[in-house]
Amino acid sequence: MTRTAANSASVAAKPRLTTSAMIASIASEGQRTKPAPFGHALIALARSRPDIVGMTADLGKYTDLHVFAREFPDRYYQMGMAEQLLMGAAAGMAHEGFTPFATTYAVFASRRAYDFIHQTIAEENLDVKIACALPGLTSGYGPSHQAAEDLALFRAMPNLTVIDPCDAHEIEQVVPAIAAHRGPVYMRLLRGQVPLVLDEYGYRFELGKAKVLRDGAEVLVISSGIMTMRALEVAQALEADKVGVAVLHVPTIKPLDAETILQEASRSGRMVVVAENHTVIGGLGEAVAGLLLRSGVTPKFRHIGLPDEFLAAGALPTLHDRYGISTEVMSTRIKGWL
């Protein structure tokens, strides 16, 4: 498999932004990207699925639902800046046989509208697909827009499937897959110019499946979302130091692919590092740790994630360095743990 020169270049010379803008690109300089993969995938799906409707709470433009709105204006519901209403109304739509894709920011779905998702959607196992932008630390705007705990909250909700896709290639496949799945889904959303990485690995998304993207003898990184992109860059960087890093991508946070995770973590001699764009409390790291311990699989285990604190405002690359989820800091820490 080949990696692009852009990926290497991004590790070496990442430009530093200086503002705490709400919307910041997670793409490295020169990285291949695709525009609005969620919106375009939803359009493609909706052509053959008349039951699909789009609903948002004043964030159509910022969740890429605006492209769907342009294509299907009569299937687009602007619900206003009212996330509780958005979720209840999406439940009502699902009651009537439609499959709503409801979008907002991850902070608002998880923290403001939780009870509405819990009671009106999940408890009745309704076909509502919730797609939320700015997951984890993908905004430098401060805690109001940093959804560091969304996975912990949504993992704890019965009936809910939880997806953390890595890139544009994956998002395009996640959209039809979750629409085909019966039941509610929470999907972390990357929007705007979204990095394109996994196509180079011949990757196919399957709901509920973890996939080995590359093998390595010394370290197994288990990751989801944008951290898989980082993990692949780390693996490439450590290759130069003769350190073999395997990457197991786990886009479905719930239900967890226990079989694949146990199989890979059981291979002797490898340190397991879970890397997540999420607080270290209650996300993929603790899910994997709990699985391993319950199964009697106890490799050397390390955890890369966001600290249990209100994160700072600032430029995203600065914050990713500070909180240890940038490629450079991850590489250094993993080498130090060996």
Partner 1 sequence: MQSNPLGHKVDLAERAYRIRRNALKMGEVQGQGYIGQALDIADVLAVSYFHAMRYRPEDPAWEERDRFLLSNGHYAIALYAALIEAGIIPEEELETYGSDGSRLPMSGMASYTPGMEMSGGSLGLGLTIAVGMCLGLRRKSSAARVYTLFSDGELDEGSVWEAIMSAGHWKLDNLIGIVDVNNQQADGPSTQVLAFEPLVDKLEAFGWFVQRVDGNDLDAVVAAFDAARNHAAQKPRMIVCDTRMGCGVPFLEAREKNHFIRVDAHEWQLALEALEAGRTQ
Which 75-104 positions form the footprint of partner 1 (CB under 8 A)? 77, 79-80, 82, 84-85, 87-98, 100
CA 338, CA 189: separation in Å to the nearest integer? 33
CB 268 within 8 A of CB 301: no
Site string for partner 1, 118-157 (x = CB under 8 A): -xx--xxx--------------------------------
Question: Comparing C-alpha atoms, which of 274, 338, 276, 269 is closest to residue 299?
Answer: 269
DSSP letter assigned to residue 128: -
Query: 260 with 290: CB under 8 angstroms?
Result: no
160 is an interface residue for partner 1 by CB under 8 A: no
Q: Is 71 in the site for partner 1 (CB under 8 A)?
A: no
Work out whether 301 is an interface residue with partner 1 (CB under 8 A).
no
Nearest-approach distance from CB 229 to partner 1, in angstroms: 36
- Is the separation of the CB atoms in 167 and 197 below 8 Å? yes
Q: In what order do the strands lie in the sheet with 52-56?
A: 76-78, 52-56, 99-105, 129-133, 185-189, 161-163, 252-254
> How far apart are alpha carbons 287 and 82 in whole angstroms?
32
Q: Per-residue contact track with partner 1, 41 to 70, x per CB under 8 A?
A: ------------x-----------------
Question: Of 93 and 304, which has the nearer Cβ to partner 1?
Answer: 93
Q: Could you tell me the two tokens for 153? A: 């909250």
Sort strands 252-254 and 161-163 into parallel, antiparallel or unpaired: antiparallel
Whichever of 120 and 146 has its CB closer to partner 1, that residue is 120
Instruction: Please say which residue, 53 or 174, places its beta carbon nearer to partner 1.
Output: 53
Q: What is the dihedral of CA 311, 313, 316, 318, to 10 degrees?
A: -80
Cβ 93 to partner 1, closest distance in Å? Answer: 4
Does residue 296 bind partner 1 (CB under 8 A)? no
| 3-class state of residue 305 by DSSP | strand
Nearest to partner 1 of 111, 303 (CB atom): 111
Out of 68, 101, 105, 116, point to the residue binding partner 1 (CB under 8 A).
116
Q: How far is the CB of 76 from partner 1 (least distance, A)?
A: 11
Which is closer to partner 1, CB of 116 or CB of 186? 116
Binding footprint of partner 1, residue count (CB under 8 A): 27
Question: Under the rule (CB under 8 A), what is the footprint of partner 1?
Answer: 53, 77, 79-80, 82, 84-85, 87-98, 100, 115-116, 119-120, 123-125
